Amino acid sequence: MNQKSVLGNSAHHNVNLDFVRGLAALLVVMCHTYECQFYSSGQVPYQTLSQKIFYYFCCMGGDAVMIFFVLSGFLVGGSVVKAVEKSKWSWSDYLVRRLSRLWIVLIPALLLTTFWDSLGIRLGGKYAYDGNYWNIIWVGPWEKDYFDVKTFFKNLFFLQNVSDPSQMFGTNSPLWSLSNEFWYYLLFPLFYVAIVGKTHVIKRIFYLVLFVGVLKFIPRSMAHLGIVWLMGVLAYIVVNEPKLNKIASDFRIFILSFMLFLAVTIIGHLELATGWLARVLQPSKIIQQGLVGIAFTGTIPYLLKRSINVEFYKVVGTWLSKISYTLYLTHLPLMLFFFYLFILPEKSLLTLHSFLLFLFYIAIFLMYGWCVWYFFERRTNEFRGKIMKYVHSFINYFSRVVKRTSMKINEKY
């Protein structure tokens, strides 16, 4: 079974995966809005069932990032596997595609972070922007001095998560995962091309040496989360092997995987366990993150096979997925600008009025994300096409120069 038959007309679009990716981005926005607006569930002694359900969904931001990692491994890692197997691998094409995809949103996101943070500081919010609200909300800056040119360029070149402690630019703490993504994009093809690719032994050794060097360069925590990313690659391999896909796409596997996901997240986020189980399922710890990754990976083959012909589902899933990357990378500086200057340090209990406000905030951030997407990410293919044109022109020019130089040397000697 080839990738086209699995995903439909494009290797990057499946209605179910689109919906999951869009929902994951929405959960991150919900999580951050909840952190800014409401008292945490631990500060509310008595909770109704509806409150517990609300708290559960609003605490799934970290789990949503694990879903992003698995989807990234499936799509990006899968594209590497596909290109190598078809002997169409090209480092220049791959790097242009990946970097253009990252930078066309990252650069505007960093500039917008500069704008909102500068405006917030100028309007009197320096106390909050220096990290003094970190004990109230677990998002945004936790120390001062992260809003400078050096940190800007570290984030621009995906080095923010390499240092200890991590240094995300200004209030844009979601940038941490982008650093992980970039290094996984580099590490996987280095290893896969070296092991599986049809290339000269010297190149294989070079790729492996570079792979080990990069692996030693990045923090151990980043390498550990790379296992979650690789689960997506495994899912790609499984769905493209007919015998394995027949087993993995069985509805019973989907249900077991979904139940595992619910069990891990509900027990962890609602603190229903004690002792060693509580430590294992503590949210955003490596074992819990790995279990979330395994659970979601197990659902992918069935999601690819299952067709849901509900127009509302398709429209919402496609729209959210389309803006998910932009939304993820741009919402927090605007959100913190508003809450730092006008709401915090006050917080709300969950009432009908505060819930309606919550929905209103979410709608504002979604519209903002769409506006940024419209002006930037929407033009990814156009931007990428221009870069590819220049890269290919440079490669052709360089090849001609090398050829002419070689001919002159041969004529001389």
Q: pLDDT tens across 19-37, in order?
A: 999 999 999 999 999 999 9
- The torsion angles phi and psi of 348, rounded to 5 degrees, stand at -115, 155
Query: What is the pLDDT at residue 401?
Result: 64
Compute the average pLDDT of residues 264-275.
Answer: 90
* Percent of the chain whose predicted confidence (pLDDT) is above 90: 73
Checking if the pLDDT of 11 tops 60, the result is no
Domain spans of the chain, in order of start? 3-140+148-156+224-375
Query: What is the pLDDT at residue 276?
Result: 87
Query: Up-side HSE of residue 66: CA atoms within 13 Å toward CB?
Result: 26
Query: What is the pLDDT at residue 99?
Result: 93
What is the Cα–Cα distance from 65 to 369, expressed in whole angstroms? Answer: 18
By the 10 Å C-beta count (0-12 exposed, 13-18 middle, 19+ buried), 51 is classed as middle
Average of per-residue pLDDT values in the chain: 90
Query: What is the pLDDT at residue 214?
Result: 96
- CB–CB of 144/131 below 8 Å? yes
Checking if the pLDDT of 365 tops 60, the result is yes
Query: What is the pLDDT at residue 4?
Result: 45
What is the Cα–Cα distance from 357 to 355, expressed in whole angstroms? Answer: 5
Residue in 392, 405, 313, 356 with CA at minimum distance from that of residue 92: 392
Going by C-beta distance under 8 Å and a sequence separation of 6 or more, which residues neighbour residue 296?
Answer: 66, 67, 70, 231, 257, 261
| Confidence category of residue 271, pLDDT binned at 50, 70, 90 | confident
| Confidence category of residue 179, pLDDT binned at 50, 70, 90 | very high
Higher pLDDT pick, 302 / 388: 302
Q: No. of H helices and E strands in the chain?
A: 18, 0
Tens digits of residue pLDDT in 229-238: 999 999 999 9
Going by C-beta distance under 8 Å and a sequence separation of 6 or more, which residues neighbour residue 38?
Answer: 58, 347, 348, 349, 350, 354, 358
Tens digits of residue pLDDT in 75-93: 999 999 999 999 999 999 9
Query: What is the pLDDT at residue 2?
Result: 46
Tens digits of residue pLDDT in 33-57: 999 999 987 777 778 888 899 999 9
| Confidence category of residue 219, pLDDT binned at 50, 70, 90 | very high
